[in-house]
Structure 1
Amino acid sequence: MKIRATVVCVKDSAILLVSKPHSRWSLPGGRIRANEQPADAARREVAEETRMMVDGIVYLFQFRGFSTLHHVFRAALPEGAVPQPGEEITRCGWFAQADLATLPTSVPTREIVRLVFEPQVELAAMRVA
């Protein structure tokens, strides 16, 4: 199983997504290197993919996909920060949560965003079961 740091960056209720050439939109992030802490990997991946340094980072939860375990973080961006594609990323964009239903994204991307913004839905489902 791959282990990944995945970062949710929010600005004015919009979510930052990135894309590689000929690929779906996804949350910034990537594999955690050997002997690297997940939070350090999250900061590094945001910097590599968007050329932005995060001000603060908060661990939210783990999300297990089919073949990947995501360590999910929420990052605070500096005032006026503008993402620019870096490394293998060719596009960066800000999207409303509702846009994810019509964008080409992975199921984990959509589910992670849903859990970040609608945690009460998951808690309510857990109480019913």
Structure 2
Amino acid sequence: MKDRATVLCVRDDRILLVARERSRWALPGGRIRRGEAPHEGALRELEEETTLAANQLMYLFQFSGFNTLHHVFFADVEPHASAQPSNEIAKCRWFAPVKIATLSSSVPTRGIVELFFRHISVLEPDNMWRP
């Protein structure tokens, strides 16, 4: 099973997704390199794919995909920093949580987003995070 660092960035009640050319939307992230800690991979992948640098990174949970174990992190980024596609990424866009279920996105992306918002709604039952 491959290890992947996966990053959730939330701004103004929207989640950042990225996509390669002619590919589905996904959360920023990628394979963790040999000798690299999962949080180091998350920071590196976020910056490589979106040019965003995280102020803080918080480990959330693991998510098992078909052949990939996602180490999921929440990244706090500057409120006015602009996400720009970089490296293999062709598009970066912020989406409302309810929109993600209707996009052409990967199964792990939809599952991770659902788990995240389910967790948030348990912690803060009356907030606006509910999809």
The aligned residue for residue 21 of structure 2 is: 21
Gaps of 5+ in 2: 123-131
> Given the two structures, how large is their TM-score scaled by the length of structure 2?
0.90
Q: How does 1:1-129 map to 2 (within 5 A)?
A: 1-119=1-119
CA deviation string 1:37-67 (max 9, x = no partner): 0000000000000011110000000000111
Gaps of 5+ in 1: 123-129
Which protein has the bigger helix share? 1
Identity over aligned residues, as a percent?
A: 54
Q: What is the deviation of 1:76?
A: 0.1
Contact residue 25 and residue 104 of structure 2 kept, 8 A: yes
CA deviation string 1:68-122 (max 9, x = no partner): 0000000000131110000100000000010011100011100100111112789
Aligned length: 122
- RMSD over aligned CA atoms reads 1.4
Which amino acid is 2:114 matched to?
Answer: R
Hey, what's the Cα distance between the residues in 2 that align with 1:43 and 1:88?
16
Other structure's SS at 2:89 match? coil
